[in-house]
Amino acid sequence: MPTFDDRGLPTGSTHEAARHAVESALWRMMAFYDTPLADLDAAIAFDPAWPLPQAMKAGFLFSLTEPSLVAEATQSLATARALVTGATPARERMHVEALQLIADGRWAAACRTWDALLIEQPRDALALQWAQLWDFYRGDAPSLRARPARALPEWDEDDPLFPHVLGLWAFGLEENHCLAAAEEAGRRALAIDARAPWAVHAVAHVMDMQGRFDDGAAWLRHHQPAWAEGNGFAAHLWWHTALFRLEGLDIAGTLRVLDGHLAGEQLQIGLQRVDAASLLWRLHLLGADVAERCRALAGAWCKPEQHTPGHYAFNDVHALMALLAGGDVTRAEHHIARCAERAMSGDDAKRDNHAMAREVGLPLARGLAAFSKGEFDAAADQLYAVRPQAQRFGGSHAQRDVVDQTLLAACTRGHGRKALGRALLNERILAKPTTPLTRHWSEAMGQATVRASV
């Protein structure tokens, strides 16, 4: 007799305890409260023949974009593949197929597989979660909005996972500049369940995009009891807290958040170190003395015996920021060379990530290196040339703003790109007309006034 999960989707296990453990793991994956690994290991122990928990373990580990976890993820995926039989439900087979594409570096093809699954099973939360993550890593903003939108009307609002799916849609709306709708969806999700950090995150992004730095700081502070402890999103939301302080040019306050929540042992994986590096580089652009902090971050992140450049271009460029702002030019040059080698050679060159590295990551890296050498006009040219493609690099608008801020700094410090700097500043003024950070760049560019409207 077939069995079904809490959403009425067919499952490959008749063991109730195993299904319950997988449901708990799925909630943790979407809500970020602790990791799902203990639940998945329990499901595997209850039903060793069920491929889904092995696949979920592999997908979770792959999603962390951490080179050191690839071997374990690959082993779990191999076990899942070996357990698949003709009796395995089609949706579970498709998850295994999609994850194999992830392992092979074919991220876009994996998202197409999840798309096909969601057409048939729009309440497959696992497919929604994973496709959203790899859309984010690939910079596919249209899919971030469209995929949850296609599924949401099929969901029951009483489902415990519904507010998390609503949070995915809210973030997709924000990344497609539908800011009012994004804020409304995020607030709606939190009215249903205050423990929906992706929705907190989506509204924080809206406020960042609009330059509402006081509102954003208050928003995160209001929801802080729900996300600051025991949640995998905490480091990233502390980063947003720091960004709001930086938008207000509160350098001391930004450093307090950085030192208190984005440094040392609090940074366990690359995704957390990316946020620290991005914040440090922005402070570096503003003239803050962060070299020692950058050296500490790079020392922990880029250990020669552990560091594997070329795994994910977005992370690689942020590691480079830490090396450059810390003054380690030799290691920075080696880092760029290793990234280029992997992006250009052999089977690696066929992977989606390495196309991103060749076409976006490496040009950005070379622009950052030129900036650090004091070649400001060359840096501006290099960064501006790749700017139209920067979204393909992955991340969010808020994360990629580090490129624009570096461009502004290069234009203010160089001699021949003042007109470009003024044009970029005009664009910024329309989005964030009155923030202290916008005024800083306006004054640095020699532009007398910041206009709030046109």
Residue-level pLDDT at 434: 85
CB neighbours (10 Å) of residue 184? 15
> What does the H/E/C string look like for the chain?
CCEECCCCCEECCCCHHHHHHHHHHHHHHHHCECCCHHHHHHHHHHCCCCHHHHHHHHHHHHHCCCHHHHHHHHHHHHHHHHHCCCCCCHHHHHHHHHHHHHHCCCHHHHHHHHHHHHHHCCCCHHHHHHHHHHHHHHCCHHHHHHHHHHHHHHCCCCCCCHHHHHHHHHHHHHHCCCHHHHHHHHHHHHHHCCCCHHHHHHHHHHHHHCCCHHHHHHHHHHHHHHHCCCECCHHHHHHHHHHHHHHCCCHHHHHHHHHHHCCHHHCCCHHHHHHHHHHHHHHHHCCCCCHHHHHHHHHHHCCCCCCCCCCCHHHHHHHHHHHHHCCCHHHHHHHHHHHHHHHHCHHHHHCHHHHHHHHHHHHHHHHHHHHHCCCHHHHHHHHHHHHHHHHHHCCCHHHHHHHHHHHHHHHHHCCCCHHHHHHHHHHHHHHCCCCHHHHHHHHHCCCCCCCCCC
Using the predicted structure, report yes or no on whether residue 137 has a pLDDT greater than 90: yes
pTM for this prediction: 0.95
The confidence band for 350, taking pLDDT boundaries of 50, 70 and 90, is low
pLDDT tens for each residue of 387-445: 999 999 899 999 999 999 999 999 999 999 999 999 999 999 999 988 999 999 999 98
Using the predicted structure, report yes or no on whether residue 104 has a pLDDT greater than 60: yes
pLDDT tens for each residue of 194-206: 999 999 999 999 9
Using the predicted structure, report yes or no on whether residue 454 has a pLDDT greater than 50: no
Using the predicted structure, report yes or no on whether residue 348 has a pLDDT greater than 90: no
> What does the H/E/C string look like for 28-55?
HHHHCECCCHHHHHHHHHHCCCCHHHHH
Domain at 1-139, CATH from 3.30.530, 3.40.1000, 1.10.10, 1.25.40: 1.25.40
Residue-level pLDDT at 40: 98
Residue-level pLDDT at 446: 83
Q: CA torsion angle for 438, 441, 443, 448 (degrees, to 10)?
A: -60
Of all residues in the chain, what percent carry a pLDDT higher than 90? Answer: 89
Mean pLDDT of 159-184: 98
Mean pLDDT of 12-19: 96
Average pLDDT value for the chain:
94
Mean pLDDT of 264-284: 95
pLDDT tens for each residue of 231-243: 999 999 999 999 9
- Please give the C-alpha separations between residue 188 and each of 165, 202, 237, 434, 445, in angstroms, as whole numbers: 11, 12, 19, 29, 41
pLDDT tens for each residue of 294-347: 999 999 998 766 667 888 999 999 999 999 999 999 999 999 999 998 888 756
